[in-house]
Structure 1
Amino acid sequence: MRRTAMFLGAALAPLVFAGAALAQEPEGPERVSLTIYNQNIALVEDVRTLTLPAGRTRQTFPGVSAAIRPETVGIAGEGLSVVEQNFDYDLLTPDALMQAAVGDEIMLVRTNPGTGAEETIRATVLAANQGVVLRIGDRVEVLRDDGVPTRVIFDEVPANLRPRPTLSVTLDAERAGPRETTLSYLTTGLQWKADYVARFDERAGSLDLNGWITVTNTSGSSFEQAETRVVAGDVALVEQQYNPRGYPQPPRGLPGNRGDGTEAGGPGGLADVYIYPLPEPVTVANAQTKQVGLLDATGVTAARRYRAQIPGFQTYEQPQAADVAVVFSNSQSTGLGRALPAGVMRVYMRDEAGEPRFIGEDAIDHTPAGSEIAVTTGQAFDVTVQPRVVSEERADPAPWTWWRTRYTVEYTVRNARSEPVTVELRQRGLSRSTEFVEAGGGELLDSRTLGWSVRVPANGQTVVRTVVDTGY
């Protein structure tokens, strides 16, 4: 006799239960809120009204995150204490049903494709590993996928299998009756990031800025109409597997758009992190990416800037193209006046026909209000810098100064554009004891950086000369 063919999973559908109907789970939360951090972790606060008898009772919380960290669970309610808790993560699936039925009998209902007649056979499940092995009468058979229509009937649902991830808790109530109860826990599988679109108008000296929060849910559970907040800033986590630092990356190229803010503005602050509440409740379904508007600002003062960084005292055989960036401030005076969470900013600029063209993107870090933000959009091949070390000698003939070096350097800044430009020139790689002998119009920006603001005429060049003493 040709036997029914099937595999674990989708091949076992449809499934039928011969016994009593599956017990009804309690309803889900009445209210839920999410606080999502940058580090693949989120705080879930789940509010439900429980009607409990006095004394000890078993209560289930279906619909919690499948990626819950059980050790972080807290339950708060008037006159309640927690005696014991269990997280039941063995979900009701065709695979799990068949594996739970090993050693028990099931029914197979097969339909003859030619006649439509059904045949019912009792079978004992011997194994359900990489396939299903059954004993039917005195024969042992392996089910294969040969396309014969089949239904599998189970007598009951095992008590340990749940249709949704479920937290079961033994509670001790001082009195009987209903009371509002808040379940809180940490979960992995919820992440967020910020994305920005900047439309730069160089002639007007301004930009329009839109920001989006993107929330990704891979926690295994959905959250309906959740009051959602996202947190900018890292919190300390003991176990690093809960802290994948893949995003956001620190900004490229141009320093100065991080941590130099001087204003309060935008989101609420708590314990040195910023909290951004989303404007309205959102449903964050499992295996879903959702975007929600963060900001919409127009007429923010902005300008284009050229900058070149030289990592150490050396001579370049070929000129180095300068970085080009769109620079603005998120201060109140520019029309923005709020902190910005880390993310990727994409910049568009209108061409001569008035059409917006993408000119580049850059990552920004968490930026407090009142900071200067420089978004590097690429390199300017027609604006270049070429350093040349003219001389390198011991700074002083005294024997105790052998470790200090005097550098004489010339920087040739060229501009092939039809209008003059200003280039911010940065010389890096200095020691903490660097001193200017001849500044050449520059200044010491920090202990390891010299800086010049170089004005270069159209289709021309400017040479900057400096002499510095540096060493350890």
Structure 2
Amino acid sequence: MARRRARQRIGEPDRDLRHALLMLARSLAAAVLVAFAAPSAAQDAPAVDSAASQKLAVTIYRAPEREAKTAINRSWLRGYALVTEQRTVTLPAGRAVIRFKGVAAGILPESAIVSGLPEGVREKNLDADLLSPRTLYGASFGRPVTIRRRTGKRMVEEEGILRSGPDGAAIVQTAAGFEAVDCHGGRDAIGYHDVPPTLPDTPTLSVQVDSPSARTVTLTLSYLAWGFDWQANYVANVHADGASADLLAWVTLASGDVTSFPDAETMVVAGKVKREDSAPDPDDRDVPSLVLQCLSEPELEERDYLAPPPPAIVAVPMPMMDIVVTSKRRVAVKQEDLGDLKLYRVPDRTNVAAMAQKQVALLDRGGVPVELLYRVRLDGGDAGPVRMVLRAANRADKGLGLPLPAGPVAVFAPHGDTRLLVGEGSVADKAIGEDVEIDFATATQVTVEATHPATNKHWEAYGLIVRNANPRPIRFEAEIDSVPARIRKPSVPLVRREGKVRMPVTVPANGSVTLRYREIDEP
């Protein structure tokens, strides 16, 4: 069966297509008349727009599920932010709808609090249908449009009225009757005269209020929003003596929201805050595209309709990164207590830009005393890989002495006149007084050999030969994965650190040491 053209005028020979188009147009028109027959009270109330934010604060919380060693996933930011802003609005007497334009697209409307109105708020609405090809088409039902058709090398324009929704075919009414506009993006296109006033181009939160008189008020709007994250990033430059290091740390702020928050008082919170819900999957937040179908095709074919693109929100490229500096001095964040959590405040106002990432200095400490050691984990006498660990004490007299938020650590060491990366690890949230341990690389100059010299019905004897190929002595620890009460006759005194049982020893340069212990049955 030959393919018929998508556009057929009323009165042309194809009566089946004419009848189908006419019935579809009538049914769509009737449905819309019913939908708009009873406007709500909110539609009758005058709408007033609040002024731009006069004072803005953004507090970012880390993604609850993300571990310290896991990098921020900029395509799916699962943290959230608390946004607080002050706005001025002029209210008429009686009922009105206040529109807060430019809120975060990931706003949780149920969390929004508006203060500054003694009478309170009657209801809240989130205008989620932002300006897009699909929403512009859907909101233009019954409105005049211009049909542009290419005939040969000529462009012909014809006025019409849109008579269909965004699902199905593009049905318009012209002076000649009802017709289907070519939905293949070929000769025909639709031009819109304007943007419907009900279709915002930025995320908008609306609240309905009652005011006893006309007045100008300053309101405070606070809400939670998904699509943010932060973490600390550390750089440890170990000195040539291996006994000290320079520690530099940055706070990395990331926003996956389409709304920018300029000149904001910015804070980040370390620690885990209990949240019952979780960040939505990015696929669930995608705006549906405009897809139209040709009614006259033997089989319905879906294609993206190439309507003239309306003004849209422009996303800044994700890899963008800013570094905040003041003169030649890094601006370091300031730590404050927030109950059992820790809050870090950026001292200068900064821009939390849309779809962007930036870094602000957290700390810069030189000559921090550290200990480089080698560690292996023993499980039932079996030895795992030998790992290199950098240890420091989080105390003021040891060069630190401040709460350290979790984050990845890059470790560098000198090599001639330059410094080279020797490994990467991570650090968990550390309070003042705790040890900071960074497991950053697998050792190549230190090896171990596990032995099982003896056994008994009540105990098992284990041994570990540690060989050091370095030209200097090293500190070594064997971490035993067992209950302390089951360990007997260790060849060196046991030490307990962070709930782990360890056998520390010094291995001489180009030498070896043998460790022994027994593990008894359940005591």
Same fold (TM over 0.5): yes
- After TM superposition, give the deviation of residue 357 of structure 1 in Å: 0.4
Check if 1:128 corresponds to 2:166: yes
* Correspondence for 1:371 among 417, 421, 434: 434
Q: Determine if the alignment matches structure 1 residue 420 to structure 2 residue 473.
A: yes
In the alignment, is the contact (CA less than 8 A) between 2:51 and 2:89 conserved in 1? Answer: no
User: What is the rounded CA distance, in whole Å, between the counterparts of 1:448 and 1:133 in structure 2?
Assistant: 72
Pick from 277, 283, 289: which aligns with 1:239?
A: 277
| Equivalence for 1:399 | none
Shift of the 203–449 alpha-carbon distance from structure 1 to 2, 3 Å rule, reads: closer
Q: Are 2:426 and 1:388 aligned?
A: no
Q: 1:230 to 1:43 in 2, by over 3 A?
A: same
- Report SS of the residue matched to 2:397: helix
How far apart are the structure 2 equivalents of 1:29 and 1:367?
Answer: 36
How many corresponding residue pairs? 413
Asked if 1:52 is matched to 2:52, the reply is no
- Deviation of 1:68 after TM superposition, in Å, equals 0.9
Structure 1 match to 2:393: 329
Higher fraction of strand: 1
Counterparts of 2:460 and 2:499 in 1: how far apart (Å)? 15
Gaps of 5+ in 1: 5-22, 245-264, 396-405
Give the distance between the partners of 2:359 and 2:170, measured in 1 at CA. 43
Q: Which of the residues 372, 379, 393 maps onto 1:311?
A: 379
> Does the CA-based 8 Å contact 1:108-1:153 persist in structure 2?
no
Cα offset, 1:3, TM superposition = 10
The two structures have a TM-score, normalised by structure 2, of 0.72
Q: How far off its partner does 1:45 sit? A: 0.5
Distance apart, 1:433 and its partner CA: 3.8
In 1, distance between residues paired with 2:441 and 2:104? 42
**What's the CA shift for 1:200?**
1.3
Q: 1:448 to 1:162 in 2, by over 3 A?
A: closer
**1:229 maps to which residue?**
267
Equivalent position SS for 1:267: strand
C-alpha change, 1:103 and 1:71, in structure 2 (3 Å) is same
Matched AA of 2:196: P
Q: Is the 8 A contact 1:338 1:369 kept in 2?
A: yes
**Alignment correspondent of 1:168:** 206
Tell me if the contact between 1:266 and 1:339 (Cα under 8 Å) persists in the aligned partners: no
Secondary structure of the 1:234 match is: coil
Match of 1:36? 60
Which residue is 1:182 aligned to?
220
Q: Given the alignment of the two structures, is residue 440 of structure 1 paired with residue 491 of structure 2, yes or no? A: yes
1:272, distance to aligned residue in structure 2 (A): 0.9
Which segment is superposed worse, 99-108 or 139-148? Answer: 139-148
Judging changes above 3 Å, is the alpha-carbon distance between structure 1 residues 449 and 198 closer, same or farther for their aligned structure 2 residues?
A: closer
What amino acid maps onto 2:467 in structure 1? Answer: R
- Once the 2 structures are TM-superposed, how far is the Cα of residue 458 of structure 1 from its aligned partner? 1.7
Q: CA separation in 2, counterparts of 1:82 and 1:376?
A: 53
Amino acid at match of 1:124: L
Per-residue CA shift, 1:99-155, capped at 9, x if unaligned?
22245441234678856x76343253434337745455344232333488x67133x
Assess if the C-alpha contact under 8 Å between 1:106 and 1:125 holds in 2: no
Q: Which amino acid aligns with 2:397?
A: S
- Give distance in 2, aligned partners of 1:356 and 1:464: 35
Give the aligned residue type for 2:113. Answer: G
Distance in 1 (CA, whole Å) between partners of 2:172 and 2:513 is: 86
User: How far apart are 1:185 and its partner, in Å?
Assistant: 0.8
Matches within 5 A, 1:43-122: 43-53=82-92, 55-77=94-116, 79-109=118-148, 114=153, 119-122=157-160
SS in 1 for 2:456: strand
When residues 133 and 297 of structure 1 are mapped into structure 2, their CA distance, relative to the original with a 3 A threshold, is farther
SS at match of 1:45: strand
For residue 258 of structure 2, give the secondary structure of its aligned residue in structure 1: coil
Question: How many angstroms apart in 2 are the aligned matches of 1:76 and 1:24?
Answer: 17
Measure how far apart 1:367 and its partner are. 1.3
Take 2:509 and 2:460, find their aligned partners in 1: how far apart are those partners? 30
Tell me the secondary structure at the aligned position of residue 443 of structure 2.
Answer: strand
- 1:276 counterpart (335, 344, 363): 344
2:192 is matched with: 153
Give deviations 1:341-375, integer Å, cap 9, x for gaps: 111111111102x2110111112111112222122
Q: Which residue of 1 aligns with 2:181?
A: 141
Q: Is the 8 A contact 2:87 2:218 kept in 1?
A: yes
Q: What amino acid is the match of 1:179?
A: V
Identity percentage of aligned residues: 29
Q: 2:366 aligns with which of 298, 303, 308?
A: 298
Pairing 1:342–2:396 present: no
2:513 to 437, 445, 462: 462
Say whether residues 1:196 and 2:234 are aligned partners: yes
Residue pair 1:126, 1:135 contacting (<8 A) in 2 also: no
RMSD of aligned C-alpha atoms?
3.0
CA–CA distance in structure 2, aligned partners of residues 361 and 447 of structure 1: 21
The amino acid across from 1:186 in the alignment is: L
Q: Distance in 2 between matches of 1:134 and 1:81?
A: 45
Structure-2 change in CA distance of 1:123 and 1:60 (3 Å): closer
Q: CA deviation at 1:243?
A: 11
Task: Tell me if structure 2 keeps the 8 A contact 1:133–1:143.
Answer: no
SS in 2 for 1:81: coil
Superimposed CA distance per residue, residues 71-100 of structure 1 (whole angstroms, 9 cap, x where no aligned partner): 111111153411111111111223211122
Aligned-partner residue type, residue 283 of structure 1:
N
